[in-house]
Chain A
């Protein structure tokens, strides 16, 4: 007589060998590799993106008649690409043969180091990029047209070296604020792009620390 499904099920699990519990071993390794690979890939894409953007800006600057501003922006953005590239190279020096906790911890420290370096860098670059960009627009053909219209409308406008003070003040103010708040601005930007992965990394490290207790 053929066995019923219920009997097959019941008898199948009578012997203990049917329920051998797998070892909890490789999950954290897999997760560590996965998360670091994703972050590295995103960093790389980001660096390439900034590089491509700087080239586009350079080319565009020649078209709108502000090649100097374009070259300056290109150099500033190239500095970001260069620092990013150097930092990416440093990841390879992390010992992959160490255990997953050590590897993840080293990566986390590397990441924190990168954030510190970039925060300092942006403290200078945010204002300088902003000023260069506005100067570029101001000196372009379009800037000239707009300035002429403003001067015609407000002939009594106070100017310093041919630039309206009403333009200088807000530009300098925004530039100063972007330098002062470079840290929070950069961290917000970072969280928007990498926030979910940073959270995963943090969770994984907390899990592993708990495991090691």
Chain B
């Protein structure tokens, strides 16, 4: 990946990638792996970007896809008995802000798709954009978000 492309096309959107990768990883090591893989995939797939959506929207979609794929691979590789309990895996030092750590902890308890939906909601994406990125219809996005919020509020308290 040329450093020029990274600096101009990826780095300004690094916040998006970081926020998404954090929601799909439990350790700093995994987070760095996912981040790097997303960057690599953006660079590899840059020619397939058709400008039908904003570059940032495309990055959201690609980041979510990479994270979901990575997560599936990881699940296949690790037999359930190999996994440590969630509380051991979760890296509590991810953010200095304790409330944010708590929120991320609760987000990680959601299903893979719900995590994506809610992250996009928190990023102030419209229902239409969320549906486009996730690849679903807008009908149940609102209901889904309300349900997720209720669950998160319960888990955070």
Q: Which residues of B contact A12 (CB under 8 A)?
A: 95, 97, 99-100, 103
Q: Which residues of B contact A207 (CB under 8 A)?
A: 1, 40, 44
Please name the residue on chain A nearest to B5 by beta carbon. Answer: A210
Assuming the contacts A9-B122, A19-B15, asked whether A24 and B6 have C-beta atoms less than 8 A apart, the reply is yes
Chain B nearest CB, measured from A82 CB (Å): 35
In the complex the two chains form, what is the Cα distance from A17 to B18 in whole Å?
12
Assuming the contacts A6-B122, A8-B103, A211-B2, asked whether A22 and B95 have C-beta atoms less than 8 A apart, the reply is no
Partner pick for B95 among A18, A21, A23, CB 8 A cutoff: A18
| Majority secondary structure of chain A interface residues (helix, strand, loop or mixed) | helix
Q: Which of B28-36, B64-72, B109-117, B134-142 contacts A (4 or more CB under 8 A)?
A: B28-36
Query: Which A residues have a C-beta under 8 Å from some C-beta of B?
Result: 3, 5-6, 8-9, 11-13, 15, 17-24, 26-27, 30, 207, 210-211, 213
Question: Which of A5, A19, A30 has its CB near the most chain B CB atoms (within 10 A)?
Answer: A5
Q: Which residues of B contact A30 (CB under 8 A)?
A: 33
Indicate with 1 or 0, residue by residue over B82-105, a CB within 8 angstroms of chain A CB atoms. 000000000000011101101100
B14 at the interface (CB under 8 A from A): yes
Assess whether A24 is in contact with B96, with CB atoms less than 8 Å apart.
Answer: no
Partner pick for B100 among A9, A26, A213, CB 8 A cutoff: A9
- Chain B interface residue count: which class? 20 to 34
B153 at the interface (CB under 8 A from A): yes
Assuming the contacts A24-B6, A207-B1, A210-B1, asked whether A18 and B100 have C-beta atoms less than 8 A apart, the reply is yes
Please name the residue on chain B nearest to A12 by beta carbon. Answer: B100
In the complex the two chains form, what is the Cα distance from A22 to B34 in whole Å?
10
Indicate with 1 or 0, residue by residue over B46-79, a CB within 8 angstroms of chain A CB atoms. 0000000000000000000000000000000000
Assess whether B103 is in contact with A5, with CB atoms less than 8 Å apart.
Answer: yes
Q: A8-B100, A207-B44 are in contact. List 17 more A-B contacts (CB 8 A).
A: A3-B99, A5-B103, A5-B122, A5-B156, A9-B122, A11-B97, A12-B99, A12-B103, A17-B96, A19-B14, A21-B14, A22-B31, A22-B32, A23-B32, A26-B36, A27-B37, A207-B40
Assess whether A27 is in contact with B33, with CB atoms less than 8 Å apart.
Answer: yes
Chain B nearest CB, measured from A59 CB (Å): 38
Q: Which residues of A contact B99 (CB under 8 A)?
A: 3, 8, 11-12
